[in-house]
Amino acid sequence: MIEVGDKAPEFDMPAAGGGRASAALLRGRRYALYFYPKADTSGCTVQAQGVQENLAALGKAGITVIGVSPDPVKKLDAFARKFGLTFTLASDADQSLAAAYDAWVEKSMYGRKYMGMERSTFLVSAEGTVEAIWRKVKPAEHAALLLAAA
């Protein structure tokens, strides 16, 4: 399991708007990777809107935010457009980054077990090490946790 102080896993993923999200592009900068289950659902929308509302303050604190879900880029594009999201939304379609961060986990609903994204956030230092970890994040509290860590 990834822990505070560990080297952050490398990544390079397609992102909404035709861009890319990659560790190489973020070298020397602090960033937060937040993993969420599915774009345009109630909890994920609350979480994304909280980030968007606090994006300027997070930027002032030197934190770049990247939302990561297993959704295809086309769905992320629609999500960003619908809610005016201007931060990076990346597609981890094969769940490889989520697995590297131990955020692709077994879940259970109504007695049925399945694999899914755990709502988790990882703050990575400018040096590329994991600074802070929040697991099972409550969507409405997410932005406040990031701001407090900044």
> For residue 21, what are the β-bridge partners?
13
Give the whole-angstrom CA distance, residue 72 versus residue 107.
21
Query: Could you confirm whether 96 is annotated as catalytic?
Result: no
| Set 8, 16, 44, 68: catalytic member | 44
Task: Using alpha carbons only, give the angle 115, 105, 5 rounded to the nearest 5 degrees.
Answer: 155
The answer to whether 49 touches 135, Cβ cutoff 8 Å, is no
For the annotated catalytic residues, the residue numbers are 44
